[in-house]
Structure 1
Amino acid sequence: MVSRVIFGRGSFNQINDVLAPKRLNSKAPFIFLIDDVFKNNSWLTSRIQLSYDDRIIFISSKEEPKTEQVDELAEEIILTSKERPSGIIGIGGGTLLDLAKAVSIMITNDGEAKDYQGWDLVKNPAIFHVGIPTISGTGAEVSRTTVLTGPSKKLGINSDYTPFDQVILDSELTKDVPKNQWFYTGMDCFIHCIESLTGTYLNTFSESYGNMALDLCKQVFLEDHLSMEEAQEKLMMASWHGGMSIVYSQVGIAHAMSYGLSYVLGTKHGIGNCIVFNHLEEFYPDGVKLFKQMKEKHCIALPEGICSDLSDRELNTMLHIALGLEPLWENALGKNWKKIMTPEKLKALYLKM
């Protein structure tokens, strides 16, 4: 679990007090990796007190994080810092949080980020790292993985060294998220809950978190009585609990297929999950029914036909990426999942999209 959490509207103001005791010395900087949508937003950046050699690096979140990008960032930070940094602080959505986790790992581990895509491959503890989400739903702030697109696969660095040492949950930071992005990322959380709660890996620990997150998602996306501030706080808590649920169980079919879309087409994670989940009535009938109610209520139109013009080679790559995520399929369909989800069946599902 994340060992230290601060929650509350306006709690981002405590960032400097949180970091001060963690500074190793005047030559060991804090490195802030911040979504570049905040580049000209002094409302956020003015509250960060830079000292000594501390630096802010603004990073675009328009594309999914890549192993090569992690390696470049880690190398740049190592080469331009007088000493190993005191910590890495990620501020943004899932892309920035995953980058912060991955960079903090690669500063203390040899090789390339692609070498650590998988389960429990990290040898050395990461440096101190802090996550501050500015959009709710991915669960990246609490998860033990950092999902990266590598040269041959899209897969997380899953390890006990990946989770943040400190998280600050300030729902006020989510106030300017565009509606479509709010929905897609919120649905990532909703789909986490459905996949966890209906999976074969389910246990009482993950179930308790999943049920809390699912209830909060229903309140946020189906009820009308919540104020904007209440909805922001509840979705931030849903993201946390949904992330906790999959930490102790696993995701399922929508995520596996979304990884395939992302690797071949570059589809962003949240909208990719929505595109896939919209066609999974056979496997998640109740969840898809609820999803379509939420989609209709918020007037969301999903892209269609995105796989219709793919070549056989591209489709086969997509199938290879998705089917390679065996724990996700086993959680969804059981140990005999290969007899249920054949390449032909999976291809037919993709061609619906």
Structure 2
Amino acid sequence: MKFRNFKMVDYVVYGRGSFDQVDEIIAPRRKDGQPMVFLVDHFFENKNELISRIPLRGNDKIVFADVTNEPKTTYVDALAKELKDTYGTVSGIIGIGGGSTMDLAKAVSLMMNNPGSSADYQGWDLVKVPGVYKVGIPTLSGTGAEVSRTTVLTGPVRKLGMNSDFTPFDQIVLDPALTQGAPKNQAFYTGMDCYIHCIESLEGTFLNEFSKSYGEKALELCREVYLGREVWDDDCDDKLMMASYAGGMSIAYSQVGVAHAVSYGLSFLLGTKHGVGNCIVFDHLEEFYPEGVKEFKEMVVKHQIDIPKNVTKGLTDEQFDKMIDVSLGMAPLWENALGKNWQEQMTRERLRALYEKF
């Protein structure tokens, strides 16, 4: 048996107020005349309480990332080209925001040093050259993008990550205080991404003690936050940030499953945000994860969240086929969920019937 030699994030700092150490942390990585580029979620564009704390030096630049839609390969390519045309190269990319901003930062870092389009690297281990220095600073908890070896992108023909050992951040800064004030629904959908990670990992055929250890802890924290508390407080933010980290570590050495495989099709065709798409799908997966779905529905009710309905109503056969194609292209996810004979179980007809429920 051959075991994966798993590449992790090089450095991690955790704690309330740790954002204020960013200047000190990145100082040794600065190069003369080459700016640090702060790629910031556009949600913060007019929020000076965060922007004023970004440690700009010399010709450093803030770029507000438009993450209204999930990252597209064309957007990654355009950002990287603009930076290369303007500066030649940069000292580093610092992503500040939710999962989409984390993915953008990782992808732009890679495309500063790799030729062609980011679409050329959608797949497993296609990236051959390290990117520029990159730092992830999450302002939402749940996706695990801060620790993953992928950067999920929608390309011209598929939604698929740039999965490689060169993708993980060189540094992450986990400051739970940065998650305060996030829109309620968005924060819930992102947190549920972590919960769903855990269910899919812990019930998957790829499960091992490495994944199980992280997954069980992340699941415990999710349950405490979403079911065990009556009032959301700082402690909830602290716990959910660590759940996101542990959940990301859990799937790093195993895989996600049905919810993610199916939601990729929704995202590709309809532009559905990752966390929302996972919730739309997971709400109907009782046949695969009965206990997890039951608990998920309790969380939805407790936190008074409306899961979108009828999102596939009125779609054409061609549109259903496109979603099915994208979903069935996620072979490792299906194998983790259903085993090596997954193609015999998840036929196009069965998947079409599932999509029609949403």
Indicate the TM-score class for this superposition, using the shorter chain for normalisation. over 0.9
Residue equivalent to 1:283: 288
Q: In structure 2, what is the equivalent of residue 78 of structure 1?
A: 84
- The answer as to 2:60 corresponding to 1:57 is no
* Partner residue, 1:6: 13
Aligned length: 351
Deviations 1:95-153 (A, max 9, x none): 10000000000111111100000000001011100000000001000000000000000
Give CA deviations for 1:173-229 in whole Å, capped at 9, x if unaligned: 110111111110000000000000001111110110000000000000001266510
Is 1:147 the counterpart of 2:152 in the alignment?
yes
User: What is the CA deviation profile of residues 257-293 of structure 1, one whole-angstrom value per residue up to 9, with x for unaligned ones?
Assistant: 1100001011000010000000000001111111011
Cα separation, 1, equivalents of 2:192 and 2:264: 16
Question: What letter corresponds to residue 70 of structure 1 in structure 2?
Answer: V
SS in structure 2 of the partner of residue 218 of structure 1? helix
3-state SS of paired residue (1:155): strand
1:37 pairs with one of 28, 38, 43: 43
Contact 1:137–1:235 (CA under 8 A) maintained in structure 2: yes
**Separation of aligned partners in 2, 1:137 and 1:269:** 11
CA RMSD in angstroms comes to 0.9
TM-score (norm 1): 0.98
2:244 aligned with 1:268, yes or no?
Answer: no
| Corresponding residue for residue 205 of structure 2 | 200
Query: How much does 1:76 deviate?
Result: 0.3
Take 1:207 and 1:121, find their aligned partners in 2: how far apart are those partners? 28
- Does residue 159 of structure 1 match 2:168? no
Amino acid of the structure 1 residue aligned with 2:244: S
**2:96 alignment partner in structure 1:** 91
How far is the alpha carbon of 1:37 from its aligned partner?
A: 1.2
Structure 1 residue runs of 4 or more that deviate by more than 6 Å after TM superposition: none
Please list, as runs of the form range in 1=range in 2, the aligned pairs for 1:104-143 lying within 5 A after superposition.
104-143=109-148
CA distance in 2, matches of 1:224, 1:270: 22
Which one of 253, 262, 273 corresponds to residue 257 of structure 1?
262
| Unaligned ranges ≥5, structure 2 | 1-7
Scaled by the length of structure 2, the TM-score of the pair is: 0.97
Equivalent position SS for 1:31 = strand
Aligned to 2:3: none
CA displacement 1:70-99 (0-9 Å, x = unmatched): 000000011111x42110000000110000
Residue 107 of structure 2 corresponds to: 102
Q: Which amino acid aligns with 1:259?
A: Y
Distance, in Å, in 1 between the alignment partners of 2:99 and 2:135 is 13
Aligned-partner Cα distance in 2 for 1:105–1:297: 41
Q: Distance in 2 between matches of 1:41 and 1:264?
A: 32
Structure 1 residue 49: deviation in Å?
A: 2.4
Structure 2 residue 34 is matched with structure 1 residue 28: yes
Bigger mean CA deviation after superposition, 50-59 or 321-330: 50-59
Q: Distance in 1 between matches of 2:225 and 2:66?
A: 28
| Equivalent in 314, 331, 342 of residue 319 of structure 2 | 314
User: Among the aligned pairs, what percent are the same residue?
Assistant: 60
- Ranges in structure 1 where 5+ consecutive residues have no aligned partner: none
Alpha-carbon contact 1:220-1:226 (below 8 Å) kept: no
